[in-house]
Amino acid sequence: MVDTVAGAGPDPHVSGDDPNRRDFIHIAAGVAALGVVGGLAWPFIDQMNPAGDTLALASIEFDLSKVVQGQQVVVKWRGKPLFVRYRTPAEIAAAIKDDHADLRDPQTDEARHKPGKAQYLVLIGVCTHLGCVPTFGGGDYGGWLCPCHGSVYDTSGRIRRGPAPKNLEVPDYSFLSDTKIKVG
């Protein structure tokens, strides 16, 4: 930098012999430019995040009387499949029996349904591995089998085998009446 001013004159302020002040200007300008670029970059990155209307997520109501025992209904919620399953007593018993088995993501069956409503299992039907939709009735645990890479879930939707790390997620929901739930 110092050489940029040809023929250093006697006045040190003009000649640029004072590296500290020059450096200060350079660093200050550089930092300011970086700040501007950084500040401008954020809007350009954030625009890809979910937009306002996408965030204003609709919740849905579901009439449980539409499901009969042993049946599973799949509805779409926030773009994802939602499983509503009316479990048989045998399935519930199997789930409770395994409460203390060697589980990858330990959780009791009790914690996965609403109190006194063990027959209704409400799950987000998205495999916790890479997001495929598991099919009911496959696998060795009486629950779901994911067609993509073979994750097996039990009758409580807990992961038992295969690459998925977590149990099928239970969404936020509540009972509006004995036969009606509100999800989200």
Partner 1 sequence: MSGHSTYEPKTGFERWLDSRLPILRFAQDTMVSFPTPKNLNYWWTFGGILAMMLGIQIVTGIILAMHYVPHVDYAFNSVERIMRDVNYGWLVRYTHANGASMFFLAVYVHMFRNLYYGSYKAPREVLWILGCIIYILMMGTAFFGYVLPWGQMSFHGAVVITNLIGAIPLVGPSITTWLWGGFAVDDPTLNRFFSLHYLLPFVIAGVVGLHIWALHVPGNNNPTGVEVKSKEDTVPFHPYYTVKDGFAISVFLILYASFVFFMPNVLGDAINYVQANPLQTPLHIVPEWYLLPFYAILRAVPNKLMGVVAMGGALITLFVLPWLDTSKVKSMRYRPTARLYFFIFILACLVLGVCGAHAPDDLVIPGFSGLQFLDANINSYVWLSRIGALYYFAYFYVITPLLGLTETPLPVPDSISTPVLSHPASAPTGAAASPEKRG
Q: Which does 51 bind (CB under 5 to 8 A by kind): partner 1, ligand FES, none?
A: partner 1
> Could you tell me the two tokens for 45?
């990155």
26 assigned to active site: no
Report residue 28 as tokens. 């200050």
Q: How far is the CB of 30 from ligand FES (least distance, A)?
A: 47
Q: How many residues bind ligand FES (CB under 6 A)?
A: 13
DSSP3 helix / strand / coil % (the chain, rounded to 5)? 30, 25, 45
Interaction of residue 60 with ligand FES, rule CB under 6 A: no
Identify what 50 binds: ligand FES, partner 1, none; CB under 5 to 8 Å per kind.
partner 1
Residues annotated catalytic, as ranges: 149
Binding site for ligand FES (CB under 6 A): 127, 129-132, 146, 148-151, 162-164
